Amino acid sequence: MDDPIVLYGRPGASHDHTFFGNEGVDAYSTLRRLRGSGTTCKRRSDTAAYWVPTLFRNGKPIKPIDAVAYYTLREHTRVRPYPPGLKVVAGDAHAVTPQSLHIVWWTCATRRMAGASSDPPRDCRVGAVPASPTIVREAGDGTVGIQLHVRFPDCWDGRHLDSTNHHSHMAYSVDGVCPASRPELVPSLILIVTYPIASGTGVILSSGGQHTGHADFFNAWKQTALVRIVNDCVAGRPRCGRH
């Protein structure tokens, strides 16, 4: 129940969170402290911290199968790596109505398109739905999980690592073009969290209801690795993201 971005220095003051990536996150996390910790990511240079509100069903937390931090960028377009220590919150933890499907959406974890929805899918049994483009994540009993997707803004104001509301220093691009107030294009990040349940019926996020999906990102990457990956991908070098 810590949140080092929204409620820094106040342990236990937040709703429950599920964390990925950096292994040392707590209410007092700073860039320096995060860089001294390990990571659960397969890419060892990704020591950034990612977190989402915990998903509950019948009062019990649902432990995800995994999470994928999916980075994309436009090749041959000037894209600036995230600056060290950048803090970003995507989505609205206080939403009472469905959010934009450009920012927060639910799907089944299947291979062909299942269709994005504001509500968790009701039936993700194998063969029950068309497949989605994301990787299949099976729960071990023949069912396929449900997924929460959160897209982060990809335009930065070039000056502030955070803002009072944790949103206003960032913005979403339109067709790859950033607004004049946030002119720096950075990588586009989508966090995809897979839960090992066949139906989202009756689930609730710790932030309240099913429409409060959101995610936090604290950039504590090993910065030299992040810069190399971004520069190589912008240059169009083959397999640039596999370093």
Highest averaged pLDDT of the listed ranges 120-124, 143-147, 206-210: 206-210
DSSP state of 122: S
Going by pLDDT thresholds of 50, 70 and 90, the confidence category of residue 74 is confident
Residue 12 included in any domain = no
pLDDT tens string 11-25: 999 999 999 999 999
Residue 155 included in any domain = yes
Claim: this prediction has a pTM higher than 0.75? yes
Q: Which residues pair with 84 in a beta bridge?
A: none
Residue 140 included in any domain = yes
Order of strands across the sheet that contains 188-195: 66-72, 188-195, 146-151, 104-108
Q: Of the candidates 79, 242, 71, which has an alpha carbon nearest to the alpha carbon of residue 152? A: 71
DSSP state of 67: E
Residue 220 included in any domain = yes
Residue 175 included in any domain = yes
Residue 10 included in any domain = no
CA dist., res. 18 & res. 91, Å (int): 16
Residue 9 included in any domain = no
Where are any strands of DSSP class E within the chain?
17-21, 49-53, 55-57, 60-61, 66-72, 87-91, 104-108, 146-151, 155-156, 170-171, 184-185, 188-195, 203-205, 214-218
Contact status, residue 194 vs residue 66, Cβ threshold 8 Å: yes
Structure tokens at 86: 């950048």
The whole-number pLDDT of residue 81 equals 96
Q: Which of 10-24, 107-121, 124-138, 181-195 has the lowest mean pLDDT?
A: 124-138
Question: 15 Cβ partners below 8 Å, 6+ apart?
Answer: 1, 53, 54, 93, 206, 207, 208
What range does the domain containing 174 cover?
A: 17-242
Residue 6 included in any domain = no
Average pLDDT, the chain: 89
Is pLDDT above 90 for 110?
Answer: no
- What is the tally of structural domains in the chain? 1
The whole-number pLDDT of residue 114 equals 57
